[in-house]
Copies of this chain bind each other. A is one copy, B any other.
Amino acid sequence: MVARPGPKRALSEDEVLNAALALLDADGPDGASIRKIAGTLGVSPNAVYTYFSDKSSIEQALVERLLGELNRDAVSRADWREDLETLALDLRRRLTAHPGAVPLLLGGPMNGPEALQLGERLLEVLARAGLPEQAAARASYLIMIYVLGAVALEVADVPQAGALEPEASRIAARRAAMTQVPSSMFPRTAAAVDVMAQWVGTEQYVWGLHRVLDGLAASR
């Protein structure tokens, strides 16, 4: 860290990211504008460009930070399925805590250091599961697709901005909405309303993950 000329910085990259995340949580996916970030930090909009070159780099950094927090708790037990389930549940919990940030994850390639670290962890667990290298590489992508896809659909199911309501409330709202589907046009859907209302629940999430892991285990 070499001292540079110029005034001391009044803020830090982290403070910018904190403000951005808080705004995403409060106002939804489009809530973290440069101007609002600057406003909550008590600074002029262009001051933000001192810390990040443009808005997309703020979003990338935010994604990396969220993945970094995940990577910091690396719990490795014996059973590979248990490990993957823990990891998947952890990722879902952290992402649904910030629904406004989820679109950022799917807005660009997963090629940052923390994303790579997450991939590396997956490969490690899958190798321990006995999958050969090629199958492990493919399996890790399948798992990422499942986790990110499930979270994306879960978040997309809620129209309004702000924090997600408790699971039970969201399921109840889904059930109420789905009872309106006409059984004459969609008989199977109408008959399965109770199950489909629970699509956004933890139980369905784990069930789907288990089906994926079953499919992977069978391919060994």
Contacts and interface: CB of A to CB of B under 8 A. Distances in A.
A138 B108 CA distance: 29
Interface string A165-186: 0000000000001000100011
A116 B204 contact: no
Nearest to A154: B145
A213 interface: yes
Interface in A139-198: 139, 141-142, 144-146, 148-150, 152-153, 156-159, 177, 181, 185-189, 191-192, 195-196
Contacts of A187: 120
A212 interface: yes
A117 B185 CA distance: 8
Interface string A97-123: 000000100111111010011011001
B188 A124 contact: yes
B186 A138 contact: no
A127 B210 CA distance: 20
B142 A208 contact: yes
Contacts of A117: 186
A137 to B, nearest CB: 4
Contacts of A185: 113, 116
**4 nearest A-B pairs in the assembled complex, by CB-CB distance:** A149-B149, A215-B215, A211-B215, A137-B195
